[in-house]
A and B are shown apart, each in its own frame.
Chain A
Amino acid sequence: MSATSGLVHLVDDDESFRGALARVLTAAGFEVRTFGSCGDYLLRRDNGEDVACLLLDLCLPGPSGLDLQQALVESGHKVPIVFLSGEGTISASVQAMKAGAVDFLTKPIDAVQLLAAVRAAAAARTRERAQRERAHAWQVRFSRLTQREHDVLRHVVTGRRNKQIAVALGVAERTVKAHRAHIMQKLQVATVAELVRVAERWYDWDEGRSDRLEQIAEP
C-alpha cells in the first residue's frame, strides 16, 4: 500500500474491540492509533498530527465520549468525530450530533458503514483543510493592502463609484482608479463582482460579524 487514506484515532475501553476495529481500518488503508480512555487520549495524542477522523466510544469509564467531545470543541480542536455506541440512546445521539459529530454508529459496527463514515469524515476534513488553506491565502493577500487601499475597498464594497470615493476621500479620481488596480492585483481577483464578494466576507470576519473566515473561499 503506497500512502494511507489518513490517520484515524480510536478511543474505546474494550481492548479486543479496539484491536478488531483497528484491523478493519488498517485493511482499508487507514493508519490507526488507539486509546483506552479519554485521559489516555488527551495525554498521548500528538497535537501536530493531522487526524482524519476520531472514532469515539460513547460509553467510557470515567469521562464519557460526550465529555471528550465537549472538551475538544471548547479547546478549538475541530477533529471530525464519529461516535460508537453499544446502546444507541436517542438523547445521547442527538446531543452528540448537535455538538458537531459527523456520524453515530451502533455496535456491532458494520465495516461498510464504518468505512463510509470514516471516509466521509476524512473527505470533509480534506475539504475543510483546503478551505482553510484558501482562507489563509486570502488572509495573506489582504494583509498586503495598505491602509489607503482598505479605505478605498470599503467604499467599493458599499457600491460607490470612483468619483464618489474620490470626493469622500478628498483625492483625485485618477488616484482612486490606481488604488483599485493595485487592490485587484494584490488580491488576485479578476472581476469587480468577485472583489466585492470576497471583500464583504473579509470585513464581516475582520470586524467580528462572522467567525468563519473559511467562508471567504466558498463560491
Chain B
Amino acid sequence: MPDLDPCFEALLTHLSAAAMGMSTRNVRPGLDEAAGRMIRFLELDGCCMLESPNTAKSGIAWRSVTYPSQDRDCPLLDSDLEWLSPRLWTGETVALGSIPQEHGRRLKSLLAFPLATSNESRQAVVFWATRIRGEWTPILIARARLVAQMLAHAGAHRSTWQKLQMIEQRYTDLAESQADMVCRYLPDTTLTFVNHAYCRFFGRERGELVGRRILELIPESARQYALDAVSKMAGERCTSTTEHEVLLPDGSIGWMRWTDTPLIGEDGTVTEFQAIGRDVTERRRMEDSLRNLAQASRLAMVGELSAAITHEVTQPLSAIQSNIDAIGLLLGSDSTHMPSIHTILEDVRMDVRRATEVVRRVRTLLRNPELKPELLDIEEIAAEAVRLSGLEARRRGVNVMFHPGNTDAQVFADRICLHQVLMNLIINAVQAVESQAEGCRHVTVGSFSHGDGEVGIAVRDTGPGIAVDDLPRLFDAFFTTRKDGLGLGLRLARSLTEVNGGRVWVDRNAEGGTTFGITLPRPRLAACKAPPLSSGHSREDAA
C-alpha cells in the first residue's frame, strides 16, 4: 500500500465521490473536474483510458475517455497507440521518463499500465506530461495506478449507465413521440413514468404526475373498479383493455381506453404495469349522445305502445284475478270441484309468466345500457321485435307476419340497437298500412342473406308507398311524411345500424308498398375478438 498523504487522500475521496455519488447523467463534468485536480496534483498534464475489444486482431487500443476533456489537443497520437498497445496487452507497465524528441512533439513523458480485463475488452490507462519528468517514482506510479483504477471504475460505471441511458432514451423518445399516452405504474397505481401525451391530456407537468397514484386521476365512482381490475390483472398476468372515465383538470369527465400489461419481476411477482392509452372522449361523447337519443326514442316508443302494453299486461292479470275468484267460489261451496283447483292454479302460474314476460320486454326498451356488441342471432331479435310491436299492430288491425328463413343469421352487434331499429321499422310499416282497406294491411318481416358476407332483415309493407322524390331524404333528420312525425326515427335507425357496422336501406315494391331493411356483415372470427365498441367498464383478455 502506498503511504497516502492527507492531501492525496482528500483528493482521492473527492474523486471517488465524484465517480460514485454523482447523478448518472452528470458523471462527466464532475469526474473531469476531480480527475483534473488529481492529475495536476500528480504533476501530470492528462490521462486517457484505452480500450480494445478482445476480439480485435490488431490489438490497437482506442481512446475511450480523455481527462481533462477540454484538452482537445491530446499529445498522445494514434501512432503512439500502435507501439504502446501491444506492450500494454502483454501486461507490461510502460514508464517513459523522457521520450525521444521529434519536431513539434508535445508528449515528453508517459506512464501507462494495463487494467483488469473483462470478457469483452481490455483496458489500459496512459498518463502523460508535456515536459520531461525523468524518473517515475514508485510512489507516483502507485498513486497513478490508484487513480487509474478509480477512473476505470467510474468509466465502467458510466458506460453501463450510458448504455442504460441510451436504452432509456430510445424508449423515452418512442414514448414521447407517441400521440398515445404511455405510463408505468406500481401495483398500488403509483405512477413511475408518464410520457408527454399523458401530461398533456391531464394538463399537468410530469413532476406533478410521477409519484402520484392513478386513483387520484379517476372519478371516485370508478376507483374501486380500477383497483379490482389492477389486482385481477396482477393475479391473472394478462394484458387487458379497458375503457374508463377520467377526471380532467377542468373537472369534467373524459374517457380513455387503456391497454395494460403487467411486468413480471425476477422473483416472478408483478412489479409494475405498463399502459398505453388513448383519449376516446370525443368518440364516447358521440356515442353517449347517440345512446341517449336512442333511449329517448325508445321512451317515446313505449309511450306510443302504452295502450297496447297496458292491454297486454291487463289480460293475464284479469285471468289471474278471475281464476282466484273461481277458486274462492269453489272453496266456499261444498262442491266436488276441488281437484280442478290444481288445474286453475297451473293456469294462474302461466298467466303470471305471461305478464312477467311483457314487463321484461318493455323493460328492454326502458334500459339505457352501454353499447355492447356480441354474437347474436338476428332472427331471434327480429322475432322479439315482431312480438313487441305486434301488440300495437293487433290494436290497429294489422297483421305482422314473421318468416325466419336463414339458418345462420349470426351477426356481431349490440342487441338493444338492433332491437330498436327493427321495432322502429316494423312500427313504421304498421302505421303505413293502417290506413289501407281491411285485408290489405300486411307487414311481412323476414331474414335474408346477401352473398356470403352479409345477412339482414327486411320489413315489407303493403302501405301506400313512398314518393320517389322523398327517397333520398328519407334518412335525413327532421324529414317526415307524417303529420305528427318528428322525423328522427329513420335517422336514428341509420345511426344505430351504422354504429354496428351495418346499413339501413329502402326499396319501393313493384306491386306497391315499401320494403325497409337492415344489412349487417357476417361476423368474421377476428371481428368477434375485437375490443368492444365502447365497453365501458368491461374488459377482455388479450388472446
Contact = CB atoms under 8 A, between A and B. Distances in A.
A111 B331 CA distance: 14
A62 interface: yes
A111 B395 contact: no
Contacts of A87: 307, 310-311, 314
Q: Is the interface of B mostly helix, strand, loop or mixed?
A: helix
A107 B329 contact: no
A21 B315 CA distance: 12
Interface stretch (A11-19, A44-52, A149-157, A178-186): A11-19
B347 A16 contact: yes
A108 B320 contact: yes
Contact of B333 (A27, A59, A114): A27
Nearest to B321: A108
B77 interface: no
Contact of A108 (B307, B322, B326, B344): B322
Contact of B326 (A23, A59, A107): A23
A168 interface: no
A17 B322 contact: yes
A109 B320 CA distance: 10
Contacts of A172: none
Nearest to B348: A20
B323 interface: yes
A86 B319 contact: no
A23 to B, nearest CB: 4
Given A87-B311, A111-B329, A59 B395 contact: yes
Interface string B304-315: 000100110011
A97 interface: no
A5 to B, nearest CB: 13
B323 A23 contact: yes
B319 A19 contact: yes
Nearest to B333: A27
A86 B315 contact: yes
B351 interface: yes
A109 B321 contact: yes
A60 to B, nearest CB: 10
Interface range on chain B (Cβ under 8 Å from partner): 20 to 34
Contact of A20 (B326, B335, B354, B394): B326
B177 interface: no
A17 B395 contact: no
A108 B317 contact: yes
Select the residue from B322, B329, B330 with max chain A CB neighbours within 10 A.
B322
Contacts of A16: 315-316, 319, 347, 350-351, 354
A110 B350 CA distance: 20
B319 A110 contact: no
Nearest to A17: B319
Given A16-B347, A20-B347, A86 B311 contact: yes
Contacts of B333: 27
A110 B321 contact: yes
A142 B317 CA distance: 55
A23 B322 CA distance: 8
Interface range on chain A (Cβ under 8 Å from partner): 20 to 34
Contacts of B318: 14, 17, 20, 86, 107-109
A86 B322 contact: no
Contacts of B315: 14, 16-17, 86, 107
A27 B311 contact: no
Contacts of B326: 20, 23-24, 26-27, 111
B328 interface: yes
Interface string B355-396: 000000000000000000000000000000000000000110
Given A23-B344, A27-B333, A62 B321 contact: no
B43 interface: no
Given A16-B347, A16-B350, A27-B330, A21 B322 contact: yes
A21 B325 CA distance: 9
B319 A62 contact: no
Contact of B325 (A59, A107, A111): A111
Contacts of B394: 61
A28 interface: yes
Contacts of A109: 318, 321-322
B37 to A, nearest CB: 103
A87 to B, nearest CB: 6
Nearest to B350: A16
A110 B325 contact: yes
A21 B326 CA distance: 8
Contacts of A111: 322, 325-326, 328-329
Contacts of B317: 107-108
A23 B310 CA distance: 24
A107 B314 contact: yes
B72 interface: no
A214 to B, nearest CB: 34
A1 B333 CA distance: 11
Select the residue from A1, A14, A110 with max chain B CB neighbours within 10 A.
A14
A110 B321 CA distance: 7
A114 B335 CA distance: 21
A111 B501 CA distance: 55
A177 to B, nearest CB: 63
Contacts of B335: 1, 27
Report the 9 A-B pairs with minimum CB-CB distance, sorted nearest first. Answer: A111-B325, A108-B321, A23-B326, A20-B322, A27-B329, A107-B318, A108-B318, A86-B314, A16-B319
17 contacts: A16-B315, A20-B318, A21-B319, A23-B322, A23-B344, A27-B326, A27-B333, A27-B337, A61-B394, A87-B307, A107-B315, A107-B318, A107-B321, A108-B318, A109-B322, A111-B326, A114-B325
Interface of B: 307, 310-311, 314-323, 325-326, 328-330, 333, 335, 337, 344, 347, 350-351, 354, 394-395, 397
Given A24-B326, A110-B325, A111-B329, 19 more contacts: A14-B318, A14-B319, A16-B315, A16-B316, A17-B315, A17-B319, A17-B322, A20-B318, A20-B321, A20-B322, A20-B323, A20-B344, A23-B326, A86-B311, A87-B307, A87-B314, A108-B322, A109-B321, A111-B328
